[in-house]
Amino acid sequence: MKTVVGCLLNFRSAWEAAEPAMHLAPHFKPPRNPVLYLKPANTWRSSGEDIVLPAGVDEVEVGATLGVVLGRSCARVREADALAFIAGFRTVNDVTVPHATILRPPIKQKCRDSFCPMGPVVPTSQVGSPDRLALRAYLNGELRLSEDTGNLIRPVARLLAEVTDFMTLEAGDVLLVGVPAGLPRARAGDRVAVEIDGVGRVENTIRSEGGTP
């Protein structure tokens, strides 16, 4: 894995929550293309490892999302062919510092150390359609979010086609399909989990920076 690319505003609920602000300065209109950001290697963690709450940050959003894992190099792929380039899927917690800015890559809010716990890769043959998957987020064992990838504005094949129209993704790279609105917020000491039917569960504890692992 070399790159993890995320997409903003791809769940209908997230788009609808942000849509009024899209018509204000500095953009004055909704985006026509995917709004992307990166989750660099310093963010990558596995289930069971701590998520570190940076100094000065009181809480983070639990970003339940599906990770699409590429099986081979993918550039300018057609939507009709896109699913053939996928090797599997991962359950991902796209952890984010809460913020009000939209339509700009939230690098400072998304790229902190430990802010991208990911589950193991599950082959496509074991998952079925990526556009009909239920995903859930839990806070201290309590269900706090329930969504479905059927509510994506850009389904997986279309998103992959639009992203690779200008950007090559390599084998092992991960494309995050987006997070819905209403993400639960967690603080130091909380136990958070993201679960996707057929793909798995990733669970981590939040601790303060400098706290005992």
Alpha helices in the chain (DSSP H): 12-22, 107-110, 156-164
From the number of C-beta atoms within 10 Å of its C-beta (0-12, 13-18, 19+), residue 29 rates as exposed
The pLDDT score that the predictor gives to residue 147 is: 98
The pLDDT score that the predictor gives to residue 212 is: 66
Q: What is the DSSP secondary-structure string of 35-63?
A: EEEE--GGGEEETTSPEEE-TT---EE--
The model's pLDDT over 1-19, given as tens digits with 9 standing for 90+, comes to 789 999 999 999 998 988 8
Higher pLDDT, 20 or 45: 45
Residues in the chain: 213
Q: How far, rounded to the nearest angstrom, does the alpha carbon of residue 163 sit from its chain's CA centroid?
A: 15
Higher pLDDT, 213 or 109: 109
From the number of C-beta atoms within 10 Å of its C-beta (0-12, 13-18, 19+), residue 188 rates as middle
**CATH class for the region spanning 4-208:** alpha beta
Calpha distance 37→27 (Å, rounded): 18
Mean pLDDT of 45-61: 96
Mean pLDDT of 111-115: 97
Q: What is the pTM of this model?
A: 0.94
The model's pLDDT over 55-112, given as tens digits with 9 standing for 90+, comes to 999 999 999 999 999 999 999 999 999 999 999 999 999 999 998 776 567 889 999 9
The pLDDT score that the predictor gives to residue 113 is: 97
Element (DSSP H or E) covering residue 201 = strand 200-208
* Helices H / strands E in the chain, number of each: 3, 15
